Structure 1
Amino acid sequence: ETFSYEKKVSDTKIEMSDIIPGIYTVSVSGTAYDQKGEEYYINGNSVNKALYRGVETVDITLKGLKVSPLIFKEIYFAGSKPPVGFAYFRDQFYEVYNNSSEVQYLDGVYFAQLYPTNATRKLPIWDGGTDENVCYAERIWKFPGDGTQYPLQPGESAVIAQFAANHKLENYNPNSPVDCSHAEFEFFPNNNRLPDMPAINMEHAFYNGKAEMGNLYQFLTPVFGGAFCIFRVPSGSDWDPVNNKSYQAHEVNKSAIKAKIPISYVLDAVECINNESYADAKRIPAVLDAGITWVGKTYCGLGVARKVMVENGDTLRRDNGALIFQDTNNSTDDFERGVVPVLHRYNTGVPSWNATY
């Protein structure tokens, strides 16, 4: 059972009553403003908290993250079922949207698959202890560009396809719900097993302590649901998880190297899980995503899509007509689940530099 409570607060305490005794995940989400008037998401949670008579307080540490102009608009990870065989997963894609009122540049923005790869109730034990100020990445890619080469105007979005093909074709999977042949970017694995499609190739940045991809057949993320973030490294930062070991991490008694990404660098993060029963298996900090989202099935041709903001029954738009999407850094609230994936859903703008049309 889910309980929700909304209140404008000026102190550090919220009171609730009539809670049925049980084991709960308690999440707190909201917004706040600093002295400069800049808006921040405030999030925190307590997982597997026993609430019963005599338990009068639940202490939750809240952290803030600046409201981001770039957000994940849609993620399709579950794959689809082909006419013959069990599984087809090359049609995965991720869509990034400019949710602000100003032009944003994708150049130099990073895309990370976070670690642990799958939702788990047994979190890693890191050699040297867990750093609460970072998230951990398995693999990292980077948008190419010279700094102003790939602008997104307000209301425009860019799709990154695992494989930027028309997956509905007979030689792929006619049951696939998507045609990714017009995707803006592609995670090309740089091998001879798959053709290099017209989409712009993402640049590989990190895997197991190296910039090289390794033996990568395709960039397949979990069909059960992975965790992802986009981030930008501030000018002057020494962040380099390949050459700077202070940004590397490994688990106790394991050699595989993961990358540390400072939370302050993150623009947006989304945590996907197998199904609702894994709500207590969060693996990324609540300040990045206080909730979780899911499809609940694999190879079903369904994904998750961010909700459009509505106020008093009216869809919110910018002055130029661009849609404003809900972004509270809580994927449980922010995303529609189990939807048929659509590239550029709601006819969001296609960048002028997309040469596939």
Structure 2
Amino acid sequence: MKNIKFLFLLIASGVYLSGCMKDLKTDEFTDDAISSTITVTVNMPEGYNYTTEGLPVYFVDPSSGLEFCDTTNASGVATIRVPHGAYIATTETKHSAAGGVVYIFNGTSEKIRVAPNDPKSASSKIDLNVSKAGQIVLKEIYYGGCMNPATGKSYSKDQYFILYNNSGEVAYLDSLCLAVVDPYNAPSSGKSSNWVKPNSTELRDSIPVSGIGWMFPGTGNQHPLQPGEQVVISLNAINHLTISSTSVNLGIQGYWAAYDPLLTKAQSTPNAGVNLMTGFWKVGTATSWVVSTLSPAIFLYSMGGKTPTQFIADTYTWNPGYATNRNFDCLMVDKNLIIDGVECFRNVTDSKRLRPEIDNGFAMVDGGGQGQSVHRRIDAQATAAAGGRIVYMDTNNSSNDFEKRTTASLVGVN
């Protein structure tokens, strides 16, 4: 029987786990009356022959916060004894290929329930998904706002995103699209997203754009982003320090605004020198772009060479949760067009909106009005290999890649 390696919950501890941490090992779990054995088999996607041996598999019970880990054997099988509960198993790995391509493999099992009246063992599988590490990543998301000392209330009109060229080659922002996922807040209380496959809890192979579709203007090479450079995008591109001394200045020349004078007339008119993104699609009657202050999911994507008109025609669909209400309709973006995505939760028991090959984890702040952000961790090894140019972690798992920052990075930047 294997020793159990008990791991504190990733988000609570703030520790990045690159594998099963041997210094957090408890005595062997031997109480058969309150435990069961779980066996999980990890499978590579069709067409990929990389080994599944030696992968850390994490078993998490979101309700209790317990997390355990085991490593797969030569057959790609992980087996562990755990207390009774409802567990989700996850794993991930990366492999480099010719031409500098980095493949990211990750996956999540269905919920695995083990209870006193069930058999003493349960089995499941993780069918790995594959994606490639992207050039442009979401570096920071500041969504919960800050506390305004003048009013004693939360101030949240200062939301922003930072995009970063994480590669060693020039990237171009032209036609890159930005969106929030439907629903605006992560489903809670055991509910799943409306966007699941028939008779399944598995998310669809396309991601729903909610509210407004935004894209960078340009014909292909008008907006270069050099290696290690970043761009700031906000909803209200003004100096928020004039409203709250704890906020940020988003009205700086060269920043970008998700703003359109007709589509988002309730948002602040951007300061002079701020660039405007293009709103190419809108649904509903809202006069501003809504980004959750509690648990947004943000993603970047490409239209795959289509014009906005053709893309809308090909992807427009009714929201299955609001079959008779056209205000909640969405654009469905194929997972293969997703460049990067980050899932934010308000509670570890929330349900996912982004597929595992886009984000196999989640990031969190402590709540609204805290002045906190979620920010990528630096990949020290990759940064050293790049000669000191900062390279951020990108495993398509926000639980590993992101950390909570007590102060957003743009605080103090003027």
TM-score relative to the length of structure 2: 0.72
- Written as runs of structure 1 = structure 2, the 5 A alignment for 1:318-337 is 318-319=386-387, 321-337=388-404
Percentage identity across paired residues of the two chains: 24
Is 1:161 matched up with 2:229? no
The separation in 1 between residues aligned to 2:75 and 2:274, in whole angstroms, is 49
Task: Name 1:296's counterpart in structure 2.
Answer: 366
The separation in 1 between residues aligned to 2:266 and 2:184, in whole angstroms, is 26
Deviation, 1:248, is 2.3
- Written as runs of structure 1 = structure 2, the 5 A alignment for 1:104-253 is 104-120=171-187, 121-125=190-194, 129=198, 132-138=204-210, 139-169=212-242, 172-176=243-247, 178-182=248-252, 184-190=255-261, 191=265, 194-197=268-271, 198-208=273-283, 214-216=285-287, 218-235=288-305, 240-244=310-314, 246-251=315-320, 253=323
Would the aligned equivalents of 1:42 and 1:287 in 2 still touch at CA under 8 Å? yes
The separation in 2 between residues aligned to 1:154 and 1:51, in whole angstroms, is 48
Would the aligned equivalents of 1:189 and 1:219 in 2 still touch at CA under 8 Å? no
Structure in which a larger fraction of residues adopt helix: 2
Task: Name 1:15's counterpart in structure 2.
Answer: 78
What SS does the corresponding residue of 2:312 show, helix, strand or coil?
Answer: coil
Would the aligned equivalents of 1:240 and 1:247 in 2 still touch at CA under 8 Å? no
What SS does the corresponding residue of 1:276 show, helix, strand or coil?
Answer: coil
The separation in 2 between residues aligned to 1:166 and 1:37, in whole angstroms, is 41
Gaps of 5+ in 1: 348-356
Deviation, 1:229, is 0.6
What SS does the corresponding residue of 1:29 show, helix, strand or coil?
Answer: strand
What SS does the corresponding residue of 1:243 show, helix, strand or coil?
Answer: helix
Q: Given the alignment, which residue of 136, 158, 178 partners 1:70?
A: 136
CA offset digits 1:97-156 (Å, max 9, x no partner)? 000010000010000111111110423445995873211110321011221111110000
**In terms of Rg, which structure is larger?**
2
What SS does the corresponding residue of 1:194 show, helix, strand or coil?
Answer: coil
Q: 1:127 to 1:146 in 2, by over 3 A?
A: same
Task: Name 1:274's counterpart in structure 2.
Answer: 346
Would the aligned equivalents of 2:92 and 2:105 in 1 still touch at CA under 8 Å? yes
How many residues were matched structurally? 333
Q: Given the alignment, which residue of 29, 32, 36 partners 2:92?
A: 29
Is 1:49 matched up with 2:121? no
What SS does the corresponding residue of 1:78 show, helix, strand or coil?
Answer: coil
CA offset digits 1:39-82 (Å, max 9, x no partner)? 22112113542246633422122211111111010110001122
Would the aligned equivalents of 1:276 and 1:296 in 2 still touch at CA under 8 Å? no
Would the aligned equivalents of 2:184 and 2:297 in 1 still touch at CA under 8 Å? yes
CA offset digits 1:197-236 (Å, max 9, x no partner)? 231011112233xxxx8532x3331110200110122236
Amino acid at match of 2:257: E
Deviation, 1:294, is 0.6
Would the aligned equivalents of 1:109 and 1:142 in 2 still touch at CA under 8 Å? yes
Q: Given the alignment, which residue of 146, 166, 189 partners 1:80?
A: 146
What is the alpha-carbon root mean square deviation over aligned residues? 3.0
Deviation, 1:188, is 1.7
Q: 1:97 to 1:39 in 2, by over 3 A?
A: same
The separation in 2 between residues aligned to 1:145 and 1:152, in whole angstroms, is 13
Q: 1:201 to 1:316 in 2, by over 3 A?
A: same
Q: 1:249 to 1:56 in 2, by over 3 A?
A: same
Would the aligned equivalents of 1:159 and 1:343 in 2 still touch at CA under 8 Å? no
Would the aligned equivalents of 1:303 and 1:337 in 2 still touch at CA under 8 Å? yes
TM-score relative to the length of structure 1: 0.83
What SS does the corresponding residue of 2:141 show, helix, strand or coil?
Answer: strand
Deviation, 1:266, is 0.7
Would the aligned equivalents of 1:275 and 1:296 in 2 still touch at CA under 8 Å? no
Deviation, 1:274, is 0.9
